[in-house]
Structure 1
Amino acid sequence: AWPARGDLAGDRALTRDALATWAALRGAGRLQHGAVQLLYAGHLDGRTVAVLRDGDRVARFSGPGRPLEVAATGTDPSAPVALGGGRYLLAPWDSGAAVPGGDAVRVRDGVTEPLAPPTHCGRGPVLDLTGPDGGRTIGDLGGARPVVLGYHSDADHSEAAGHRSASSHSAPGRLTGAGLRLWDRLGCVLPQPTRPVDRADAADFWSGSVPHGGGAADWVCTRFDFAGGGSAGQAALVGRTADSSLSAGAGGCDERRPVSGLWWRAGTGHWYYLAAAGHGLAPEADGPLRHVDVTGRLLVAVPHGEPKARPDTPIDLTAHTA
């Protein structure tokens, strides 16, 4: 359990007000006061803030008459808690915090200084933390709680996928180099998770150059491990430049056998169907396509009909052993 921290942790009136507000919001009998834990109470950026946890939910209280903010965050005791304004409440056993790949972050009473991912969308890696199990990188993906971010390179994807079930709960380590650069771009392409996520592991299963002026890009399958159990894969094509027209979500994926495709509009106004598959596989598309070319696990095709009209016919995409 976390100790209550903050300069108002001993203010019983503030805690009572926060509990009463949450109980009124959830309805009589739905809040077990004995199980509710005060995580933080103090002054932040000119506000009085109290943070409470009840099971898998966290509530942020800013005083009587103000709306109570409640979010489902899961039950991972090591997950930081977002306090608003770019500040995070860290687990008491985290011994160090830094900007990913950069300088140390000031922490007082467990609360970080204001932080923000260095991306145009405000999503991406935000903190390197050091805890009992080593280092990890925390990201803001737009959901209710920060997420542990992981990365597998194109070169080691096939080995990582083969051992995924055994390694899924191992410490991910801090993002560095290619992994950090990829997540700086990927955070703005992935859709915001609709459920609390414990961990997101990105595997760039194809890297190369897209013809017809597309430029360099990575095709990524990101596995979301949800708080409370379950997982899902989300594919994305991510251009190497911030303004790349290639960057887009590309539906679901299976990191053990990744294949993904999407329609892309080139600078000429012509539409192309692009698809890629993981190591040892080749993409195969069935639909209204012509001039289909597969080179280096990348499929490129043009639609039947007017090349400048966006096709709306579904494409059946599969992968076979190369």
Structure 2
Amino acid sequence: MWAGRRNQVTITGIARSPSVDQQPTAPRTDLADHSAPPESSEAAPPTPDPTARATSPDPAAGSSGEKPGPGATVVDVPQAEAALVENYPRLARLAYLVLPPRLGRHRRVLTAHAVVQRALPRKPVPLDAPATVPAPRGTAHRLSQPAYSLVRLRVLSAALAEETRAPRLFGRRLPLPPVPTGLPQVWGLRVFPPSGGVDELAVDQALAGLSAPARAAYVLRVLERLDEPGARAVLAAAGVVDPHRALTAADAVSVPGAGDGRTLLESAEFDPCSLQARPTDLMRRRQRLRVAGAAGLALAVGGVALWLTGGGWGADGAAAPPYSRNPAAQAALDPAQLTHAAAGGWRDAERRDFSVWPARGERTSDRALLRRALAVWARPGATAQVSAAPDTPTGPPAGPPRLLFAGVVDRASVVLFADGSRVVRYAEAADGDQGGVALDFARVDGADEAAASALVVNRADGNVRFLTAPWAGDVRRLDLAKPSDDGGRVAVDSRGVTEALRAPGADTTGRSCDSWPALLAGGHVLTDLGELTPARLTYGEPAHPGDATSHAARTIWARTVCHLPAVRSRGVRTVNSWPFAAQRLPATEDWATWVCTRAATWRGDGSRVMAQFQPPLDGEKPYTPGGVAARAEDSPACGPRSPRVLAGVLWQGKGAGKRWYLLAAGSDEVRSIKVSGGVSGHSSSRLLAVPASGGSRAELTGELKGGGGLSALR
């Protein structure tokens, strides 16, 4: 809390604190210039005395409770308070320098004040020997050495303890914001000492590179002017395990142009009592207020809904509140009602699809996880991220679904269901985090053995893992951009989950495509196109395509695969590439290949067709992608219902004249081709090559052998 009065601010918790003998001036926190010389604002450094230290092994915790021995000095609370108040600026500076830099300047300032204010003991503390330390110059009151030594020791111990105060996990500090240390606290402003020059910055960077004990040793040697034995004794009393190592590291600090560093340490750069103030992020503060208001309203509405429904949200995870108590809907959400296929039933099944997949994974008996997954499927809450392939229903199951998998994959708890026409993937954090969950839907109606060979079980960090069918057998990886690459064996665990594989497209950029990973499972070539079901890649005539495993198929696909991003996330079931014609290029001995690639979807419509012109292989880059001659959507071309196609392209020769030609080709059913418009010509075969000019536009038509016409793909 801040109270403003002109250009002066007061931090809650830093106030006037009178001693027993007099009313000393409280530490200043003026916003105005407060850079008086150290002689007028802080106590002179005390005379080193390594024997004057607390007998308690933990000075910051207070007195050990032992009776003082012979010759010991007892420091009572009023003496300690007087020493603390009169040397407050110096003690706050000491704490500020020793505190870890990771706190930031604002938090270091507040923590330094909190550390000094908590250094006041609650009862008298015995010290080994009396000593005398001069009071700050210009004051009549004199402090005794034991009182200052005690307070300094408690401040140093508390500042060192802040280094290990942050939460840790497995020995590593968690990336959490600094925890407030009590009073003082500042709301709506950020405070920090004024910035210094280059030398001050060099000192600050040098101290940031030291450990907390080394920083403490440096401050004791330079700011407090203790000799090595005195500093070692103070460090040992403060709980430092290896004072010698800390002193060695402190002595190695060298700041160019800084001399012994004492003048810089006494500058305003390291003075937590001379502060500047700036506002916090005003826009973020306003947004947080809005979020807090919305959260409060949502909590109130949720409480009313909880009271009205008579149920809780805990068992259903991120699901929304139940809308009704329909018995059929409740039965579909009961983990005990889930159906399971027999472990080896797929071997004797007449039809192999997802209905014969056995339930696999180490958490198939986790009722709580399965209930959360079913509840979110039925009623996705606001924190559930729902995605679905095109035209895939996302409603709840009509009855108890089939469990395919439940287990932990890449720090995520994953559950896979099938309900006949869909597969559903539910994922949540495996560490129990109550954050968002993912819910993915994909259509699988009419799936056969090849289409049910694998499912995507998880994606993370540019990698993908598959859950393979129990009949997949040996699983291998392929690089479709390299026909000669036979890949290697993919490790599959006992649950059927593959090792992490590079996701397709992760290494492709714009105009280059040097790699395209694929999976060979059960003899079928599969690739991830961003959905729950991988797409099967085939090769050959539309009526009877086969798996793209032969050398000819791999060669065609090496020049086609980089066009697959055009059909990513479109519910693609299979992609077939069909080389429908080969054409000799004019005035050369080279041959080009015409390829029709068709991406068929699970839903039936929405298919995409692409005609490619693949020129002769280049020796330097033999598998460059083919040129796209034409594209069409929702066209039957190159499919089993219409296994025919006609396409053309403008091509420029590489000879001395570099002449332009219009090249066209049709499938086997085409008898002749005619071109009109900007280019005219006719061919009595299914291949056409006529001279043209660059940028010409023409109309292609073909005549079929059985009669009728065929327009060019567009």
Per the normalisation by structure 1, the TM-score is: 0.72
Tell me the SS of whatever aligns to 1:107: coil
- Structure 1 contact 186–238 (Cα < 8 Å) conserved: no
Tell me the SS of whatever aligns to 1:290: coil
Of 605, 611, 615, 1:236 maps to 611
Match of 2:647 in 1: 261
Match of 1:246 in 2: 627
CA distance in 2, matches of 1:7, 1:238: 50
Match of 1:102 in 2: 487
Tell me the SS of whatever aligns to 1:32: coil
CA distance in 2, matches of 1:175, 1:89: 21
Cα distance, 1:106 vs. partner?
0.9
Cα distance, 1:183 vs. partner?
1.9
**In 2 relative to 1, CA 300–208 (structure 1 residues): closer, same or farther, beyond 3 Å?**
closer
**In 2 relative to 1, CA 141–47 (structure 1 residues): closer, same or farther, beyond 3 Å?**
closer
- Structure 2 contact 646–667 (Cα < 8 Å) conserved: no
Sequence identity (%): 28
Root-mean-square deviation (CA), in Å? Answer: 4.0
Of 454, 459, 464, 1:80 maps to 454
Match of 2:368 in 1: 13
Q: 1:68-122 CA distances to partner (integer Å, 9 max, x unpaired)? A: 2423231326241112232111112222211243322111111112234598459
Structure with greater strand share of residues: 1
Match of 1:147 in 2: 535
CA distance in 1, matches of 2:404, 2:464: 18
Tell me the SS of whatever aligns to 1:254: coil
1:137 matches 2:517: no
CA distance in 2, matches of 1:192, 1:179: 20
Q: What residue ranges of structure 2 are gaps of 5+ in the alignment?
A: 1-354, 387-393, 429-433, 479-485, 707-714
Of 516, 519, 523, 1:127 maps to 519
Of 175, 192, 206, 2:581 maps to 206
**In 2 relative to 1, CA 194–45 (structure 1 residues): closer, same or farther, beyond 3 Å?**
closer
Cα distance, 1:31 vs. partner?
1.1
1:281 matches 2:670: yes
1:71 matches 2:452: no
1:318 matches 2:318: no
Match of 1:112 in 2: 498
Q: Letter of the aligned partner of 1:56 in structure 2? A: S
- Structure 1 contact 221–233 (Cα < 8 Å) conserved: no
Cα distance, 1:292 vs. partner?
3.5
- Structure 1 contact 139–149 (Cα < 8 Å) conserved: yes
CA distance in 2, matches of 1:105, 1:6: 19
**In 2 relative to 1, CA 233–68 (structure 1 residues): closer, same or farther, beyond 3 Å?**
closer
Cα distance, 1:228 vs. partner?
5.3
Cα distance, 1:277 vs. partner?
1.0
Per the normalisation by structure 2, the TM-score is: 0.36
Of 471, 474, 486, 1:93 maps to 471
CA distance in 2, matches of 1:145, 1:249: 27
Tell me the SS of whatever aligns to 2:553: helix
1:24 matches 2:379: yes
Match of 2:359 in 1: 4
Cα distance, 1:192 vs. partner?
0.5
Of 406, 412, 417, 1:41 maps to 406
**In 2 relative to 1, CA 257–90 (structure 1 residues): closer, same or farther, beyond 3 Å?**
closer
Cα distance, 1:206 vs. partner?
1.1
**In 2 relative to 1, CA 55–308 (structure 1 residues): closer, same or farther, beyond 3 Å?**
same
Cα distance, 1:197 vs. partner?
3.9
**In 2 relative to 1, CA 174–220 (structure 1 residues): closer, same or farther, beyond 3 Å?**
closer
1:183 matches 2:567: no
CA distance in 1, matches of 2:532, 2:362: 25
Cα distance, 1:290 vs. partner?
2.2
Cα distance, 1:150 vs. partner?
2.2
Q: Letter of the aligned partner of 2:533 in structure 1? A: R
Q: 1:251-272 CA distances to partner (integer Å, 9 max, x unpaired)? A: 3523555232244465999975
| Structure number, greater radius of gyration | 2
- Structure 1 contact 57–70 (Cα < 8 Å) conserved: no
Tell me the SS of whatever aligns to 1:25: coil
Which piece of structure 1 moves more, 103-112 or 255-264? 255-264
**In 2 relative to 1, CA 248–25 (structure 1 residues): closer, same or farther, beyond 3 Å?**
farther
**In 2 relative to 1, CA 36–270 (structure 1 residues): closer, same or farther, beyond 3 Å?**
farther
Q: 1:23-65 CA distances to partner (integer Å, 9 max, x unpaired)? A: 12399x9412743233222222233322233333333322153
CA distance in 1, matches of 2:646, 2:374: 47
Of 409, 412, 422, 1:57 maps to 422
Cα distance, 1:195 vs. partner?
5.1
Cα distance, 1:248 vs. partner?
5.1
Which structure's relative contact order is higher, taking Cα pairs within 8 Å and 6+ residues apart? 1
Q: Letter of the aligned partner of 2:702 in structure 1? A: T
CA distance in 1, matches of 2:525, 2:552: 14
Structure with greater helix share of residues: 2
**In 2 relative to 1, CA 231–205 (structure 1 residues): closer, same or farther, beyond 3 Å?**
farther
- Structure 2 contact 560–626 (Cα < 8 Å) conserved: no
Cα distance, 1:216 vs. partner?
5.1
CA distance in 2, matches of 1:125, 1:218: 24
CA distance in 1, matches of 2:514, 2:370: 32
Q: 1:210-260 CA distances to partner (integer Å, 9 max, x unpaired)? A: 4599x7542223455543557957232153544456245543523555232
CA distance in 1, matches of 2:517, 2:659: 34
CA distance in 2, matches of 1:71, 1:310: 46
Q: 1:278-312 CA distances to partner (integer Å, 9 max, x unpaired)? A: 23634524431326475974323466xxx44474x
Which piece of structure 1 moves more, 139-148 or 81-90? 139-148
